[in-house]
Amino acid sequence: DAMVIQNPRYQVTQFGKPVTLSCSQTLNHNVMYWYQQKSSQAPKLLFHYYDKDFNNEADTPDNFQSRRPNTSFCFLDIRSPGLGDAAMYLCATSSRAAGSGYTFGSGTRLTVV
């Protein structure tokens, strides 16, 4: 009964080669987030969608883009991955109505070679 599903769990990409990570949810939550988490650090918010409204964090590199074609799906595009982009990428959802905590996906661990 996984509710926030991220694919793939592990992704290896070449330096500079575009990569897309995906997230889907069955909760019908209207807010979806992408976080980057490096080893032993706190999750860092990259951006979030409030319904269709995209909200970028000021310090999110231009190299990172996102798409949300519908309520259920959200994608993270890294246009030209660098070695410093190797991290765990976590998708999370929340409901405005509930004003409650997040439900996280299992994450995608990205390796850049």
Partner 1 sequence: GENVEQHPSTLSVQEGDSAVIKCTYSDSASNYFPWYKQELGKRPQLIIDIRSNVGEKKDQRIAVTLNKTAKHFSLHITETQPEDSAVYFCAASKREGFKTIFGAGTRLFVKA
The residues that touch partner 1, with contacts defined as CB under 8 A, are 31, 33, 40-45, 48, 50, 55, 90, 94, 96, 99-107
Residues 101, 94 contacting (CB under 8 angstroms): yes
Q: Which is nearer to partner 1, 79 or 103 (CB)?
A: 103
Residue in 18, 4, 2 with CA at minimum distance from that of residue 110: 18
**At closest approach, how far in Å is the CB of 37 from partner 1?**
9
**At closest approach, how far in Å is the CB of 80 from partner 1?**
26
User: Could you give the CA distance from residue 49 to residue 93 in angstroms, rounded to a whole number?
Assistant: 9
- Show the DSSP H helices in 30-95 as ranges: none
Residues 108, 21 contacting (CB under 8 angstroms): yes
Q: Which is nearer to partner 1, 9 or 17 (CB)?
A: 9
Q: Which is nearer to partner 1, 26 or 80 (CB)?
A: 26
